[in-house]
Amino acid sequence: MSATLRVQKISGHSGPVPGEGAQRQQQVAKLIDTTTCIGCKACEVACLEWNDLPFRETFFDNTYQTMPETAWNYWNLIKFNELPREDGAMQWLMRKDQCMHCADPGCLAACPADNAIVQYQNGIVDFQQEYCIGCQYCVTGCPFNIPRFNPATKKMFKCTLCTDRVSQGLEPACIKACPTGCLHFGTKDDMKDLAQARAQQLRDHSGYANAGVYDPPGVGGTSVIYVLHDITNPEAYGGLPSNPTVPWAVRLWKQPLKWLGNLAMIGGLIGVTMHYLRFGPKHPPAGGPHE
């Protein structure tokens, strides 16, 4: 039962959260070093294998990308981009795209279904398909374009950060499969240190003056962090948003609009009740039915 005690946030939930006041867990994180990824797709295959997902059709469009986007049964995709550099050379950018496990998850903020999305104290954001109602609000809430809908079962899917493995002390399947060691897994603090050291190395010794760590503060930081050759241009890495935040429209909808609406509805009911008490029904028509 300890797993339920370590829940930190629950979607669509009106009561207290079971994990409140429980002992805190270490935050975990994946570190993805885009500078040493060779685009071999071992992580894509490992993700399918571990999660028992069927292999699906791929889509060849003259790049090194398996398909245009992740899918409900393909949660992990190496995004490929060819970037012309100033010296005329072509730079190949490979970025492992999957759920970022935001500290402030927009998917969870938008979700109306009690328990359909939970955030564990270790930072993992996980969809609970048995409670999902298929409304797809999480699609609107996510700033990274991650949740994917299965129209047949009307359920949402995405990377689980291998909660089943992590809760047993194992590293995620994609991490284990990586042959170059560009993927790392550990506590968030350790991963941040490692990432900073690598960025420093790239700046000092490899001529990447703009190398840096992607851990976007707009969503409170993420449990998946990247080392990029050029932190000033994350969009070049298959559309990584430069300053992701939970959309303000989602905030407006879930906070002020909700409270204003609730007040207005309660006010309306009180209003008509008061009108009835003060004025009552209209006088019956003069003369009555038997004039």
Please state the closest distance from residue 127 (CB atom) to other proteins, in A: 14
Contact present, 198 and 206 (Cβ < 8 Å) = no
| Identity of the residue, 22 or 135, whose beta carbon is nearer to ligand HEM in the bound complex | 135
Chosen residue from 135, 139, 166, 231 binding ligand HEM by CB under 6 A: 135
| Identity of the residue, 135 or 231, whose beta carbon is nearer to ligand HEM in the bound complex | 135
Residues in region 27-56 near ligand SF4 by CB under 6 A: 46-47, 50-51
Counting Cβ atoms within 10 Å, is residue 38 exposed (0-12), middle (13-18) or buried (19+)?
Answer: middle
Task: With H, G, I as helix, E, B as strand and everything else as coil, classify residue 119.
Answer: strand
| Residue 144 partner contact from other proteins, ligand HEM, ligand SF4, none using kind-dependent CB cut-offs of 5 to 8 Å | ligand SF4
Residue type (1 letter), 284: P
Contact present, 117 and 108 (Cβ < 8 Å) = yes
Contact between 179 and ligand HEM per CB under 6 A:
no
* DSSP tag of 21: T
Residue type (1 letter), 105: P
Residues in region 169-188 near ligand SF4 by CB under 6 A: 172-174
Residues in region 55-114 near ligand SF4 by CB under 6 A: 75-76, 98-102, 105-107, 110-111, 113
| Residue 117 partner contact from other proteins, ligand HEM, ligand SF4, none using kind-dependent CB cut-offs of 5 to 8 Å | ligand SF4
Please state the closest distance from residue 46 (CB atom) to other proteins, in A: 26
Stretch binding other proteins (CB under 8 A), from 33-41, 134-142, 176-184, 207-215: 134-142
Rounded CA separation 56/5 (Å): 37
| Residue 290 partner contact from other proteins, ligand HEM, ligand SF4, none using kind-dependent CB cut-offs of 5 to 8 Å | other proteins
Cβ atoms < 10 Å from Cβ of 159: 25
Please state the closest distance from residue 283 (CB atom) to ligand SF4, in A: 51
Rounded CA separation 141/160 (Å): 17
Which residues 6+ apart lie within 8 Å of 150 measured at CB? 72, 73, 156, 157
